[in-house]
Amino acid sequence: MQNMLIRLMLAQAQECAFEKMVLPGIHNQFFNLLRVAQEAAKVSDVYSTVHQSITQAPIKEHVPLAWSYTVQVKLEHYRALAHYFVAVAMLDHQLNSQDDTDQQEMLLYQLYDAMPDGLAPLSILRSKEERKRVGKAHLRKAIIGHEEAMRVQNLCKSLKKIEILQEILRVSHKRSLTKYSEHEQEDDFDMLNAPNIIGNQTRPADKTGWQRVAG
C-alpha cells in the first residue's frame, strides 16, 4: 500500500512538472513538440505503473474505486496527448536546408520503441508523404486514447461531476479530430499503426551508437 501511494505521489509530481512546462504555451517547433510529447508519455507511463498497482489485490480492496478510474483517465489522456504532439510535429514541419538533419534524425530515433512501418528516421524526415502517413497514424492513436479517457470518466459517478475534467477531455478530443480532418482524404485507406512513444528517460546506447539524452 505504501509503495502504491509513493508511486501515486511521484506520478502527480510528474504531471505537475508537465503542466508547468506547457502552461506558458507550446511553441509549434519540431524539437519542442517532440520534447513535449515525450514528457506527456512519461506522465502516462508513471500513471500506468500506479494503475497496475492500484488494481491488484489486496490494494484495490482498500482504495476508493474513483482513484482507479482517475489514474486510468490520466494515463489514457496523457498518452493521447503524446501522440497528438508527435502528429503536429510531423504534419506541420518539413525538413529544409537550414535544419540540423542529424539532430532531427537522432530525436526521431529516440522517440519510439520501434520505428513506424520499419522506416528509417531519415526516410520519414525527408519524405512529405511519409511524414503525413506517420502524423495521421499518431492522430488516430490520439483520438482513440481521448475517447477511452472519456469513456472511463463516464464510468465513474464522482468523475462525471467534475466539469473541468470533462471539458479538458472534450477539448483535447476535438482538437485531435479537427487536426485529422484537415489531412483526411476520401480514398485514404492507409492504416499505418503508430508505435509507442518513449517517455523522457535515459535509454542505453544500442548498436547504432546513438544514445538517448534526457531532457
Per residue in 23-40, pLDDT (tens digit) is 999 999 999 999 999 999
Question: What digits encode the pLDDT tens for the residues 199-211?
Answer: 986 433 333 333 3
Q: Which regions in the chain score pLDDT beneath 50? A: 202-215
**Which pLDDT score is estimated for 209?**
32
Residue 175, CA atoms < 13 Å, CB-side half-sphere: 17
> Quick check: is 142 in a domain?
yes
- Taking the alpha carbons at both ends of the chain, their separation in whole angstroms is 31
What is the model's pLDDT at position 201?
66
Per the domain annotation, does 207 fall within a domain?
no
Q: How many domains does the chain have?
A: 1
- How many Å separate Cα 199 from the centre of its chain? 8
- Which residues, at least 6 apart from 72, have a Cβ–Cβ distance to it below 8 Å? 51, 152
In a domain, 174, yes or no: yes
Backbone angles phi, psi at 197, to 5 degrees: -100, 130
At 101 the pLDDT is 86
182-200 confidence digits (pLDDT tens): 988 755 667 789 999 999 8
Domain that holds residue 16: 2-183
> CA-CA distances (angstroms) from residue 87 to 76, 84, 107?
17, 5, 14
Judge whether 172 and 80 are in contact, CB under 8 Å. Answer: yes
Long-range contacts of 3-8 (CB under 8 A, 24+ apart): 3/53, 4/50, 4/53, 4/54, 4/59, 4/63, 7/46, 7/49, 7/50, 7/53, 8/50, 8/54, 8/67, 8/71
**Strands (DSSP E) along the chain, which ranges?**
none
Q: What is the pLDDT of residue 54?
A: 94
Residue 78 located in a structural domain: yes
Is 49 within a domain? Answer: yes
Q: Which pLDDT score, from 0 to 100, does residue 146 have? A: 98
pLDDT of residue 189: 67
Q: Is residue 132 part of a domain?
A: yes
Question: Residue 212: inside a domain, yes or no?
Answer: no
Whether 213 is in a domain gets the answer: no
